Homo-oligomer: A and B are copies of this chain.
């Protein structure tokens, strides 16, 4: 008998939703089973353990969300335009699912060694062509000579971190959800400008 893809998918979807919403550790397998409308034991039949299920969900989320970003970094776009598009696309992804960031942070905290073993990290942090482009443009004198590692870290920090501290930003600046989104939308242009200004010659 073939496994019932439908049941497996129901478990997967319920777990994804709960993990993102409440965090992995605060989600019980009984919660997942209940939300999926199936029995507790079935969750262990399809995925050997909660940790296994978690790995599958994490890998899936990363693959789904980094595809477009990698495409931009690997493209032949002119550097300034590439940065602009990357910042905008990255922020759009996080706006669609603001909990992704906290989720990833939790994973890094959860299993420091494991994370680097997963092939998936290359997707999250792959930027060979982009690096080369920054070095090349520096040599040509089109931009200031710039350390590509620091530049890349700056970029993803300014894009990502505000989502991780969303509650603090909202509280301190007295923003509601709608205003937080507007604030983040402003950051697209702000971050791009910040990055471009740092590499401008003169």
Contacts and interface: CB of A to CB of B under 8 A. Distances in A.
Contacts of A170: 116
Interface stretch (A29-37, A53-61, A146-154): A146-154
A18 B193 CA distance: 42
Contacts of A113: 167
Number of copies: 2
Interface string A171-198: 1110000000001001100110110011
Contact of A23 (B109, B191, B198): B109
A26 interface: yes
Given A102-B108, A198-B194, A115 B161 contact: no
A62 to B, nearest CB: 12
Contacts of A23: 25, 109-110
Contacts of A193: 198
Given A103-B109, A106-B105, A149 B173 contact: yes
A93 interface: no
A121 interface: yes
Interface string A129-151: 00000000000000000010110
18 contacts: A23-B25, A105-B164, A108-B166, A113-B167, A115-B167, A116-B171, A121-B171, A125-B165, A153-B158, A153-B169, A153-B187, A156-B165, A157-B161, A158-B158, A164-B164, A193-B198, A194-B198, A198-B198
Interface of A: 23, 25-26, 102-103, 105-106, 108-110, 112-113, 115-116, 121, 124-125, 147, 149-150, 153-154, 156-158, 160-162, 164-173, 183, 186-187, 190-191, 193-194, 197-198
Given A26-B110, A121-B168, 19 more contacts: A23-B25, A23-B110, A105-B164, A116-B168, A121-B171, A121-B172, A124-B168, A147-B186, A149-B173, A149-B183, A150-B186, A153-B161, A153-B187, A154-B190, A156-B165, A157-B157, A157-B162, A158-B158, A194-B194
